[in-house]
């Protein structure tokens, strides 16, 4: 930074953030402003997704945490108890990698990161109850992962399954399905390191989240405080399919269950297809080399390597229970082992993939459904030999069932062919085993004699041993730690060396915040019943499926084992904050060099500037680009507010017209009230940028008024105090500073939010004023009046207002007639007739207007703005005071204007 630049000088005149910000941070801390006592009743629970302990706060974090901090502060000012805690998602592979790179161990590295991040959080002025800090890698935390694992096991929600699993060769661990992403060319890659994954057959610990699939899906409909896209992503992920299963006999191999959503097409089944992984396919392979070869090929092929129509005839035939016919059995790669039952009957006439396959293998195509009468397709135009007809319709060629609709047939056939209704889900059980060190040890022991034995509760936590540098899993290398006595038989046994997926940690951390030090249970159940669910949860969209689904699952289980009282969803309202892009509009990245470090901005401009800029830039869900001009503008605005406060504080507190009759002060007063109302509404709706815009407008007005001769000092001071409060949630340090300058009572952080009622007729009056100002400008401009001296405004006469009101309420067919039938109007002769016609023309669109005297008062309050703008005298007349020429032009809500 160059000393002596214009900006530097500017800064010397205003407040110095490097001094002001730490001062207030210390004060809040000393005063315990953000503490929430355990006996608080149903506080507002405001939560941001806790950060992974990378050691560095980036812009995304700053945005995330500014949003929750602003909202928490806002709610606190409104008199709510607010729970706004922070913790550390501190287990995970990056710590191990960092330890390897730096010749240290994951614990020390993580703790250092936490220290440094805590500093950064504090320098941003985020108001957390640090007494409730939670750290997942602390044995006092993860012992409860272990305890919960055992309770889940009591409920039969833990299973040991052998399965083919996703293995990341770089991370040397398995990954959950949710942690596998699609890379270039359709390859499956690791979500962390983008390494293409392998598949390995391993024994793993699973949480049987599928037991909750139905509820997890159904409850999404009621999560109205969640964004639609997140709910939709979860619906997709859970993937419910309603269908039926029916058995087909393959002689020599018994009954094979199929799953279908189109049981109505069963008469059109012309072949049968097994997934390569299906047990019957495997059995056939043992005697059939061609099948064995194909299976081998299919299992090792990468995506896209096999043709979509690839498959092999097995030589076997399945019996169609509907027709009694024998249809050929194929093994085909397009049938997936883990979808449905891994077996299906194929109906080429009514399924596009089956059609394609049938054409390639020269299999019959038999139509059994045709368009219903009310369909937009003519049955004549359907040629299933050409293309499949996959829509529902009416059955044909289906024996005695011809004429049934598809829907009726699906229902009927379940009974008819001895099948059953069945619901399939895409969701798989949650494999939580990870072959890594830096995680929660799974509290199990393997005994040769007794098998899998739990570690007794009194031996929890199973703590991690010293970290050793090794290839593979350090827990495997920790021989001494590994070897234990079997709790059941006392014989020699070995500890489980897998640790838990770190998503276990984050599935209930929001509950630990309620009672972080409790050592008899993971959390205080009674308090959970009162304080949960989280009212506002803010975090990134990347957790739409994994974290948010797991946390929902945990919450439901915890309720079912009576640890929480009737709370079945953890997060009532969810907001996904948008991305902060680089100034060039691209995602911030090292390679593009467009990143902005929060620390640099805080050093240079202060936390308040960063916070204000971020909150002004866009609504929380929207992305926005970093803008140096925007940052500077935020900084200057804060300086300007502070400057105004200083001037107000220094000025002699003379009161202009102390009697409160000054119409200009009245105007400013109404604007103060209106801004408060507007800002309050916008804060509530999470549209901070709109609230801040209103505050900026008010500050401009206050400055303008303050600089005016005879301005009422009380009014200005009241205005600036209001600004301090409205700005406080977003720019808390400057807010406190301004508050203190004006001798505010106590701390701003603990002050009371201002009353927020919109002044009477505010909207109508301000529209009147705006329109009138625009009209004056329009006239001056169009006519080209060089230097106006007097601007006269005249309000419309009473009778026009009455006529207007009458027209608004009237539903008379002939409005002109109805109006002219009224004596008070009719006696104004042709003026009345003309006006009545005008009213008739726009009768349906007539807006609300003020009464004549209110209209006049509103114009008088605002006259100073016009006077200043044109450096002219402004006179406001009632209809009676104005000369007839002028008054005649006036309409309700539209005063007559004369400019001389």
Partner RNA sequence: GCGAGGGUAGCCAAGCCUGGAAACGGCGGCGGACUCAAGAUCCGCUCCCGUAGGGGUCCAAGGGUUCAAAUCCCUUCCCUCGCACCA
Q: Which residues are bridge partners to 240 per DSSP?
A: 425
SS3 353: helix
- The residue among 83 and 691 lying less far from RNA, judged by its C-beta, is 691
Tokens of 846: 């007539």
Q: Which residues are bridge partners to 453 per DSSP?
A: 445
Cα–Cα distances in angstroms (integers) from residue 341 to residues 162, 212, 321, in the given order: 18, 20, 17
Q: Please identify which residue in 43, 321, 340, 348 interacts with RNA, judged by CB under 7 A.
A: 340
Q: Please identify which residue in 237, 317, 401, 481 interacts with RNA, judged by CB under 7 A.
A: 237
- The position carrying tokens 């459904």 is 369
- The residue among 599 and 636 lying less far from RNA, judged by its C-beta, is 636
CB of 402 to RNA, least distance (A): 22
Q: Which residues are bridge partners to 165 per DSSP?
A: 200
Residue 636 within binding range of RNA, rule CB under 7 A: yes
CB of 356 to RNA, least distance (A): 8
Residue 808 within binding range of RNA, rule CB under 7 A: no
Q: What secondary structure does DSSP assign to 391-422, as a single string? A: S--EE-SSGGGTT-BHHHHHHHHHHHTT-EEE
Radius of gyration of the chain (CA): 37
Tokens of 520: 């008899």
Residue 282 within binding range of RNA, rule CB under 7 A: no
Residue 679 within binding range of RNA, rule CB under 7 A: no
Distance between CA 478 and CA 445 in Å, rounded? 15
- The residue among 84 and 703 lying less far from RNA, judged by its C-beta, is 703
Q: What secondary structure does DSSP assign to 47-74, as a single string? A: EEPPPB--S---HHHHHHHHHHHHHHHH
The residue range among 210-218, 450-458, 647-655, 842-850 that interacts with RNA, by the rule CB under 7 A, is 842-850
Q: Which residues are bridge partners to 247 per DSSP?
A: 257
CB of 301 to RNA, least distance (A): 8
Q: Please identify which residue in 282, 525, 693, 826 interacts with RNA, judged by CB under 7 A.
A: 693
- The residue among 133 and 257 lying less far from RNA, judged by its C-beta, is 257
Distance between CA 880 and CA 642 in Å, rounded? 47
The residue range among 486-494, 644-652, 670-678, 700-708 that interacts with RNA, by the rule CB under 7 A, is 700-708
Q: Which of 807, 796, 818 is nearest to 844 (CA)?
A: 807
Distance between CA 86 and CA 742 in Å, rounded? 33
Residue 812 within binding range of RNA, rule CB under 7 A: no
CB of 205 to RNA, least distance (A): 23
Residue 714 within binding range of RNA, rule CB under 7 A: no
Q: Are strands 580-581 and 158-168 parallel, antiparallel or unpaired?
A: unpaired
Residue 894 within binding range of RNA, rule CB under 7 A: yes
Residue 261 within binding range of RNA, rule CB under 7 A: yes
The residue range among 457-465, 633-641, 739-747, 824-832 that interacts with RNA, by the rule CB under 7 A, is 633-641
Q: Please identify which residue in 156, 629, 650, 709 interacts with RNA, judged by CB under 7 A.
A: 629
CB of 238 to RNA, least distance (A): 10
Cα–Cα distances in angstroms (integers) from residue 403 to residues 365, 377, 397, 399, 408, in the given order: 20, 17, 9, 10, 10
- The residue among 450 and 579 lying less far from RNA, judged by its C-beta, is 579
| Contact set for RNA, span 347-376 (CB under 7 A) | 351, 353
The residue range among 257-265, 440-448, 466-474, 730-738 that interacts with RNA, by the rule CB under 7 A, is 257-265
Residue 259 within binding range of RNA, rule CB under 7 A: yes
- The residue among 241 and 573 lying less far from RNA, judged by its C-beta, is 241
Residue 97 within binding range of RNA, rule CB under 7 A: no
Residue 6 within binding range of RNA, rule CB under 7 A: yes
Q: Which residues are bridge partners to 158 per DSSP?
A: 207
Q: What secondary structure does DSSP assign to 87-150, as a single string? A: EEB--SHHHHHHHHHHTS-HHHHHHHHHHHHHHHHHHTT----GGG-EETTSHHHHHHHHHHHH
The residue range among 79-87, 453-461, 822-830, 840-848 that interacts with RNA, by the rule CB under 7 A, is 840-848
Q: Outline where DSSP puts E strands in 125-253.
A: 134-135, 158-168, 173-175, 180-182, 188-190, 198-207, 240-250
Alpha helices in 487-570 (DSSP H): 509-512, 525-531, 546-560
CB of 454 to RNA, least distance (A): 35
| Contact set for RNA, span 408-467 (CB under 7 A) | 426
Q: Please identify which residue in 328, 342, 393, 754 interacts with RNA, judged by CB under 7 A.
A: 342
Number of residues that bind RNA (CB under 7 A): 72
- The residue among 148 and 859 lying less far from RNA, judged by its C-beta, is 859
- The residue among 525 and 693 lying less far from RNA, judged by its C-beta, is 693
Q: Are 716 and 705 in contact (CB under 8 A)?
A: yes
Torsion angles phi and psi, residue 679, rounded to 5: -60, -40
- The residue among 443 and 578 lying less far from RNA, judged by its C-beta, is 578
Tokens of 703: 């400055």
Torsion from C-alpha of 763, 765, 767, 773, nearest 10 degrees: -150
Residue 299 within binding range of RNA, rule CB under 7 A: no
Q: Which of 893, 808, 802, 889 is nearest to 844 (CA)?
A: 808
Q: Are 330 and 318 in contact (CB under 8 A)?
A: no
SS3 316: strand
Q: Please identify which residue in 27, 118, 241, 840 interacts with RNA, judged by CB under 7 A.
A: 241
The residue range among 32-40, 339-347, 556-564, 651-659 that interacts with RNA, by the rule CB under 7 A, is 339-347
Helix%, strand%, coil% for the chain, nearest 5? 45, 15, 35
- The residue among 120 and 715 lying less far from RNA, judged by its C-beta, is 715
Residue 30 within binding range of RNA, rule CB under 7 A: no
Residue 700 within binding range of RNA, rule CB under 7 A: yes
SS3 550: helix
From residue 856 to residue 875, what is the string marking binding to RNA with x (rule CB under 7 A)?
-------------x------
| Contact set for RNA, span 730-789 (CB under 7 A) | 767, 770-772, 774-775, 777-779, 781-784
Residue 210 within binding range of RNA, rule CB under 7 A: no
Q: Are 582 and 595 in contact (CB under 8 A)?
A: yes
Q: Which of 162, 239, 142 is nearest to 501 (CA)?
A: 142
| Contact set for RNA, span 153-182 (CB under 7 A) | 182
CB of 708 to RNA, least distance (A): 11
Residue 344 within binding range of RNA, rule CB under 7 A: yes
| Contact set for RNA, span 10-29 (CB under 7 A) | 10
Residue 584 within binding range of RNA, rule CB under 7 A: no
Give every CB contact of residue 258 below 8 A, 6+ residues apart in sequence. Answer: 245, 246, 247, 248, 272, 340, 341, 343, 344, 345
CB of 615 to RNA, least distance (A): 13
- The residue among 350 and 725 lying less far from RNA, judged by its C-beta, is 350
CB of 886 to RNA, least distance (A): 8
- The residue among 55 and 183 lying less far from RNA, judged by its C-beta, is 183
Q: Which residues are bridge partners to 633 per DSSP?
A: none
- The residue among 710 and 847 lying less far from RNA, judged by its C-beta, is 847
Tokens of 206: 């699973």
Distance between CA 609 and CA 617 in Å, rounded? 12
Q: Are 319 and 254 in contact (CB under 8 A)?
A: no
Q: Please identify which residue in 67, 114, 176, 275 interacts with RNA, judged by CB under 7 A.
A: 275
Q: Please identify which residue in 108, 200, 308, 760 interacts with RNA, judged by CB under 7 A.
A: 308
The residue range among 44-52, 117-125, 159-167, 629-637 that interacts with RNA, by the rule CB under 7 A, is 629-637
From residue 38 to residue 67, what is the string marking binding to RNA with x (rule CB under 7 A)?
------------------------------
Distance between CA 610 and CA 296 in Å, rounded? 58
First to last CA, the chain: 55
């Amino acid at each position: 930074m160059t000393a002596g630049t214009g900006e530097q000088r500017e800064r010397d005149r205003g407040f110095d953030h490097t001094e002001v910000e730490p001062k207030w941070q210390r004060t809040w801390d000393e005063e315990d402003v953000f503490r929430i006592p355990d006996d608080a009743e149903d506080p507002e629970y405001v939560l941001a997704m806790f950060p992974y302990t990378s050691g560095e706060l980036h812009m995304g974090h700053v945005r995330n945490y500014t949003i929750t901090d602003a909202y928490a502060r806002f709610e606190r000012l409104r008199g709510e108890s607010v729970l706004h805690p922070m913790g550390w998602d501190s287990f995970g592979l990056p710590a191990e990698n960092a330890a390897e790179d730096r010749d240290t161990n994951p614990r020390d590295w993580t703790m250092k990161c936490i220290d440094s991040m805590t500093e950064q959080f504090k320098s941003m002025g985020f108001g957390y109850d640090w007494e409730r800090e939670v750290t997942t890698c602390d044995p006092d935390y993860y012992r409860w992962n272990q305890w919960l694992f055992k309770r889940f096991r009591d409920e039969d929600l833990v299973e040991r399954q052998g399965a083919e699993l996703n293995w990341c060769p770089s991370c040397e661990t398995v990954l959950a399905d949710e942690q596998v992403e699609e890379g270039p060319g359709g390859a499956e890659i690791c979500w962390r390191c983008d390494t293409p994954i392998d598949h390995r057959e391993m024994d793993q610990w699973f949480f049987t989240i599928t037991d909750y699939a139905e509820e997890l899906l159904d409850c999404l409909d009621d999560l109205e405080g969640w964004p639609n896209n997140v709910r939709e992503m979860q619906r997709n992920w859970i993937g419910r399919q309603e269908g039926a299963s029916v058995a087909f006999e393959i002689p020599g191999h018994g009954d094979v269950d199929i799953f279908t959503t189109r049981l109505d097409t069963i008469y059109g089944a012309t072949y049968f297809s097994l997934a390569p992984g299906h047990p019957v396919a495997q059995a056939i392979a043992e005697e059939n080399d061609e099948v064995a070869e194909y299976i081998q090929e299919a299992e090792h092929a990468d995506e896209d390597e096999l043709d979509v129509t690839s498959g092999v005839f097995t030589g076997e035939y399945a019996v169609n229970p509907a027709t009694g016919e024998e249809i050929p059995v194929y093994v085909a790669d397009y049938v997936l082992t883990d979808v449905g039952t891994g077996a299906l009957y194929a109906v080429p006439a009514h399924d596009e993939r089956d059609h394609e396959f049938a054409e390639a293998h020269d299999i019959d195509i038999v139509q059994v459904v045709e368009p219903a009468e009310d369909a937009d397709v003519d049955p004549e135009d359907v040629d299933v030999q050409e293309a499949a007809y996959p829509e529902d319709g009416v059955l044909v060629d289906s024996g005695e069932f011809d004429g049934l609709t598809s829907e009726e047939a699906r229902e009927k056939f379940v009974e008819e062919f001895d099948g059953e209704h069945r619901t399939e889900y895409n969701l798989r059980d949650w494999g939580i085993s990870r072959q890594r060190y830096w995680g929660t040890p799974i509290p199990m022991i393997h005994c040769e004699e007794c098998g899998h034995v739990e570690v007794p509760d009194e031996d929890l936590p199973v703590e991690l041993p010293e970290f050793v540098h090794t290839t593979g899993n350090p827990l495997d290398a920790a021989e001494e730690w590994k070897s234990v006595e079997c709790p059941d038989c006392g014989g020699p046994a070995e500890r489980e060396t897998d640790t838990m997926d770190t998503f276990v940690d984050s599935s209930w951390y929001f509950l630990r915040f309620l009672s972080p030090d409790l050592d008899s249970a993971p959390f205080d159940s009674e308090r959970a019943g009162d304080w949960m669910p989280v009212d506002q949860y803010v975090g990134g969209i990347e957790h739409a499926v994994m974290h948010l689904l797991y946390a929902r699952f945990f919450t439901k289980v915890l309720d079912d084992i009576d640890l929480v009282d009737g709370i079945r969803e953890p997060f009532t309202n969810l907001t996904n904050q948008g991305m902060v892009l680089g100034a060039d509009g691209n995602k911030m990245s090292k390679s593009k060099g467009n990143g902005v470090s929060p620390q640099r901005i805080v050093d240079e401009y202060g936390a308040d500037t960063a916070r204000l800029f971020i909150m002004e830039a866009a609504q929380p869900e929207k992305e926005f680009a970093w803008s140096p001009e925007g940052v500077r503008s935020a900084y200057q605005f804060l300086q300007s507010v502070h400057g105004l406060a200083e001037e107000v504080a220094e000025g002699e507190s003379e009161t202009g017209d102390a009697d409160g009759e000054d119409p200009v002060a009245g105007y400013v007063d109404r604007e103060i009230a209106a801004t408060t109302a507007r800002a309050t509404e916008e804060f509530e709706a999470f549209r901070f940028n709109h609230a801040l815009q209103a505050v900026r407008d008010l500050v401009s007005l206050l400055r303008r008024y303050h600089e005016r001769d005879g301005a009422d000092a009380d009014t200005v001071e009241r205005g600036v105090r209001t600004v301090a409060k409205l700005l406080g949630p977003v720019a808390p340090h400057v807010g406190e500073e301004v508050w203190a300058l004006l001798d505010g009572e106590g701390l701003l952080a603990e002050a009371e939010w201002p009353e927020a009622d919109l002044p009477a007729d505010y909207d109508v009056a301000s529209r009147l004023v705006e329109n009138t100002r625009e009209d004056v400008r329009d006239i001056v401009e169009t006519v080209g009046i060089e230097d106006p001296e007097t601007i006269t405004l005249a309000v419309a006469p009473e009778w026009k207002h009455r006529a207007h009101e009458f027209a608004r309420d009237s539903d008379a067919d002939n409005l002109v007639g109805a109006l002219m039938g009224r004596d008070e109007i009719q006696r104004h002769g042709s003026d009345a007739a003309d006006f009545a016609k005008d009213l008739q023309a726009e009768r349906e669109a007539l807006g609300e207007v003020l009464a004549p005297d209110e209209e006049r008062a509103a114009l008088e309050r605002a006259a100073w703005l016009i006077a200043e703008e044109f450096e002219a005298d402004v006179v406001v007349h009632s209809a009676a005071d104005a000369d007839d020429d002028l008054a005649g032009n006036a309409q309700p809500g539209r005063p007559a204007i004369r400019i001389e």
